[in-house]
Amino acid sequence: MNDEELEAIVRTTLLQIAPEADVGDLARDEAFNEQLDLDSMDFLNFVIALDEATGVEIPERDYPKLATLDGCVGYLRAHTQPGVR
């Protein structure tokens, strides 16, 4: 998957968790919880849904890497492309 596809997955997944959110206007480097007012349970549900949408198993220790749009895309890119980590 390329970055545009991964970004679309992240935005779609965020909409599942926060349907009222304007995910088209997200800052790339600002934390989701600040932009979308997500609580810890919302974020956990986001990570679970992202796992289901991509097939990427995300260990709890990596959750902080998924706090921003750029972080999510980079993490998913590194874990969906063979030989890239």
Establish if 70 belongs to a structural domain: yes
Q: Are 37 and 30 in contact (CB under 8 A)?
A: no
How far is it, in rounded angstroms, from Cα 47 to Cα 12?
12
Establish if 16 belongs to a structural domain: yes
- Categorize the per-residue pLDDT at 84 as very low, low, confident or very high, splitting at 50, 70 and 90: very low
For the chain, what is the domain count? Answer: 1
Q: Average pLDDT in the 50-72 region? A: 96
* CATH number reported for the structural domain that contains residue 9 in this entry: 1.10.1200.10
Establish if 85 belongs to a structural domain: no
Establish if 56 belongs to a structural domain: yes
> Residue 85: pLDDT above 60?
no
State the residue range of the domain holding 21. Answer: 3-80
Per-residue pLDDT reduced to its tens digit, 3-55: 999 999 999 999 999 999 889 899 999 999 999 989 999 999 999 999 999 99
Q: Are 77 and 84 in contact (CB under 8 A)?
A: yes
Q: Of residues 71 and 37, which shows the higher confidence score?
A: 71
